[in-house]
Structure formats: structure tokens, C-alpha cells
A and B are shown apart, each in its own frame.
Chain A
Amino acid sequence: MSTLHTVNKSPFERSSLDTCLSVVSNDSTVLLIEDGVAGALQNTTASSSITDAMGNGVKFAVLGEDLGARGLSADRVMDGISVVDYAGFVQLAADHDNVQSWL
């Protein structure tokens, strides 16, 4: 059963991204929203765990509006993470069997 996981905390503030990645299955997607978008940036301490999860088949997305609201350019996002808007968020929620919010 595929799950859309939403993570809304920065990985430099809380451990919710790590906890999420420890249970995520390979048919699922992790969507980084709100302060969670910081995890999508290139060359950070969170990058290797995201790259490892990608290697296991987990897909990643980041909410573009929340990047912009924090002055972060989409150019700084890691390769393999797709930038989506709210309509894309809705589509991801519809495309997976359920949605898990990591709060």
C-alpha cells in the first residue's frame, strides 16, 4: 500500500524526517512542506539519508511555495526531488493510498 508522507519540520530542528525515512516503503513518496523544505537543499547533513532512500525507490517532492516563502530557490534543490505546487500536493495525495502527516 503506497503512502504519501508529509514532513513539515526542518531536519536541522527535529528528527521527523529521519523517523519517516526509517519506516518509509519503496512505493511511497515523501513530500517536504513548510519548514521541512530545508531538507530538500543540496549538500546538507540530511542529503545522504535522502539519497539512500531514493536508492531504495522512495520518491521525493518539495512544495515550491514553501521554498519561495523562505527565500530558497528551486535551483538549490537536490537532483531527483521534484518541485510541486499545491495542485501537485493534491495530486500526490490522490495518487497514493493514504497520507501520513509527520507532525
Chain B
Amino acid sequence: MKFAIQINEGPFTHQAADTAYQFTKAALENGHEIFRVFFYHDGVNNGTMYGVPPIDDRNVSAIWSELAEKYDLDLVVCVAAAQRRGIMDEDESKRHGKGAANIAPKFRISGLGQLIEAGIEADRLLVFGD
């Protein structure tokens, strides 16, 4: 079955980001397909590679990157939510005159159309938030 995932919370605000990760991992391990993971609202904070949590804490953006590498996941960060919160890829960083990009590996920045498409193409859309 094809699942799409929407995440509305960052890694340090609510358990939603962890639940979404565990659900996605379990779905993949049980032979399902993840059409797309869409990071919206504060959820875009899962997509920065500049977070350095303590060594005994989980690193949510790193484990998403690893999972995406293993299963070739499409991790999409909402562009408008990302701009507000300073999540930038190389192009966005240049366009806004910022010094550097900070988007984590395997994440990409795109628009809400990607969420709508995921809702249409996937068999189920699950929303994780507060």
C-alpha cells in the first residue's frame, strides 16, 4: 500500500515527529511504499542539518536522512514554512542573500502542490501533529 505522511511539528516541540518517523519506518519494513513525506508548519525544523543534539539524544533529522538514503524517500519541506524558519537550500540561500544552506541531506524544498499530489496519489495520507 502507498502511504503519504504529513508532519506539522519539529523534533523538540512534540512527539509527532517521532511517531511519524516510527510509523514510516514500520511501513517500509513491512513492505509498504511511502509516496512522500511532507514537512509543514514547524515540521520543517526536522529538515535542518545544523542541529547538534547531545550524543545521548536522538537526532531526528539525521535518522530521516538515513531512512531516506536506505529507501530513497522523497522528503519535502514546505517552502513558505521553511523561509519563515530559516531552512534553506543552496538556491534559496543565494536568492535571499544568506551565507549558507542548512537543509539536511535527502531533503528538498518545494511547494504545497507536493502535499496535494501526495494526497491524490497515495492510498492513505496520515497527518502527525500536536
Contact = CB atoms under 8 A, between A and B. Distances in A.
A80 B39 CA distance: 35
Contacts of A8: 15-16, 19, 130
Nearest to A63: B19
Interface stretch (B20-28, B52-60, B66-74, B75-83): B20-28
Interface string A40-71: 00000000000000000000000001100000
Interface string A70-97: 0000000000000001110111011000
A99 interface: yes
A93 B19 contact: no
Contacts, number: 49
Interface residues of B, number: 22
Contact of B23 (A35, A90, A98, A103): A90
B85 interface: no
Contacts of B128: 101
B108 interface: no
| Contact residues of B: prevailing secondary structure | mixed
B15 A34 contact: yes
Nearest to B21: A86
Interface string B9-35: 000000110010011011101101000
Interface residues of A, number: 19
A93 B126 contact: yes
A101 B126 contact: yes
B124 A101 contact: no
Contacts of B100: none
B43 interface: no
- A89, A90, A91, A99: most-surrounded residue (chain B CB, <10 A): A90
Interface of B: 1, 3, 8, 15-16, 19, 22-23, 25-27, 29-30, 32, 123-130
Given A90-B32, A93-B3, 13 more contacts: A6-B126, A33-B19, A86-B25, A87-B30, A90-B30, A91-B30, A93-B23, A94-B32, A98-B124, A99-B124, A101-B126, A101-B127, A101-B128
